[in-house]
Amino acid sequence: MEPKVTPDEKITMNALDSFDPFARQGQVQRQQPQQQPEINKQQRDFSHLDEPMIKLDRKPKRRRKPVPKVLEKMELPTPEEIKQPIIEDVTEKVQFNDTLQSNIVESRTNEGLPSYRAEFAGRDIFVGFSANKATNPITTLALINIALDFGRDKIRFDVSSDENNFYKSRNDLAEKFLATDAKWLLLLDNNIIPSIGRPQWAKATIGAARNIHDSHLQKHIVHRLIGAGKSLVGAAYFANLDDASIDCSKTDLGKKARVCTDSVEPVDWVGSGCLLIHRRVLQDIKKKFPDIKHGPFYPDDISFCKKAMDAGHQPHIDLGVPVFNVGIKAY
């Protein structure tokens, strides 16, 4: 009697009989691949590598030119001399024209209005921009147009920022100005939009300018302030609040400023948000107050104007050029 074989045992027995350990009953078994005879490959001949290498004729090296005797006698600076910076004082070399009157050539339109070009000879202006907070984009456009009007050889720009104290940024700009050979310093705050002689642009971008006549908006801030012929003159603007007073000592001048009266008035103090300062003002303040602490603009605009008066310079305010102070809106 043959022993019983289970199906699993049959699978095992078939697997043992086959070369394929995974073979199953009824499955076509794979044929072992026949080994192909090795083809006798032709051996490569490397005997040519044993031949001596051919030396190539190289060009002779160039000889360096001898060092001139003049250079051999030159004395090189010592390491101590190299470490010392060379600082050139430009204030002693530059000859300044102390006359306040500038040769202004004001071009006009066919209607007799001044054109937007502010052209005059002998201008050398340093625009000091106090960027204590986010700058109004219209102010940025006004600065760009001022730069385009005068060109890089006539006007220069610098910026200073101090979020806590305006006087620090203005003192910094004053020091930068005195380190140059510029004649005029124009201080501008980041929330001030000066008139740049473009009425249509002003009315399209500034709401408060739409009630002002084109003849006033044709005036250029740089042209107007320098043309006043004063060593210290500021533009008339109002605080950025409703029904605010004019930013100067004589608040009764606000009515004249709102209608852009063509007048330059003496005052005890004027705001420095848009202020033109002649170089002599800062120099005379330093001579008058040699031991001054915290700079000439400490602690505020009133103190600066008081120092300027003591040094012999009367502050003035120009009521005829429109200047806008930006808060929630333009004032």
pLDDT digits (tens, 9 = 90+) for 96-116: 445 565 544 555 556 655 454
- Is 145 among the domain residues? yes
Residue 270 has pLDDT above 50, yes or no: yes
The whole-number average pLDDT for the span 185-197 is 93
Pairing label, strands 125-130, 184-189: parallel
- Is 45 among the domain residues? no
- Is 57 among the domain residues? no
pLDDT score recorded for residue 244:
79
CATH number of the domain bearing residue 149: 3.90.550.40
pLDDT score recorded for residue 326:
83
Nearest partner of 216 among 323, 321, 145, 118, judged by Cα: 321
- Is 97 among the domain residues? no
The whole-number average pLDDT for the span 190-199 is 92
Residue 202 has pLDDT above 70, yes or no: yes
pLDDT score recorded for residue 77:
60
User: Taking a C-beta distance cutoff of 8 angstroms, is the pair 125, 150 a contact?
Assistant: yes
Binning pLDDT at 50, 70 and 90, where does residue 135 land?
confident
Residue 267 has pLDDT above 90, yes or no: yes
Tokens standing for residue 148: 């385009």
- Is 8 among the domain residues? no
The whole-number average pLDDT for the span 270-283 is 95
pLDDT score recorded for residue 19:
57
- Is 321 among the domain residues? yes
Of the given ranges (161-170, 184-193, 220-229, 249-258), which has the lowest mean pLDDT?
A: 161-170
pLDDT score recorded for residue 286:
95
Return the bridge partners of 120, or none. Answer: 104
- In three-state secondary structure terms, 69 is helix
The whole-number average pLDDT for the span 13-23 is 60
- Is 33 among the domain residues? no
pLDDT score recorded for residue 282:
96
Binning pLDDT at 50, 70 and 90, where does residue 192 land?
very high
Instruction: Using a pLDDT cut of 90, give the percent of the chain over it.
Output: 44
> CA 171: distance to chain centroid?
19
The most confident of the ranges 99-103, 164-168, 303-307 is: 303-307
User: Taking a C-beta distance cutoff of 8 angstroms, is the pair 197, 214 a contact?
Assistant: no
Binning pLDDT at 50, 70 and 90, where does residue 319 land?
very high
- Give kind and range of the element (H or E) at residue 316: strand 316-318
- Residue 127's domain comprises 115-325
In order of 114, 236, 238, the CA distances from 106 in angstroms are 7, 22, 28
Count up the domains in the chain and report the number: 1
pLDDT score recorded for residue 57:
60
- Is 56 among the domain residues? no
pLDDT score recorded for residue 27:
52
Question: From CA 84, how far away is CA 2, in angstroms rounded?
Answer: 113
Binning pLDDT at 50, 70 and 90, where does residue 92 land?
very low
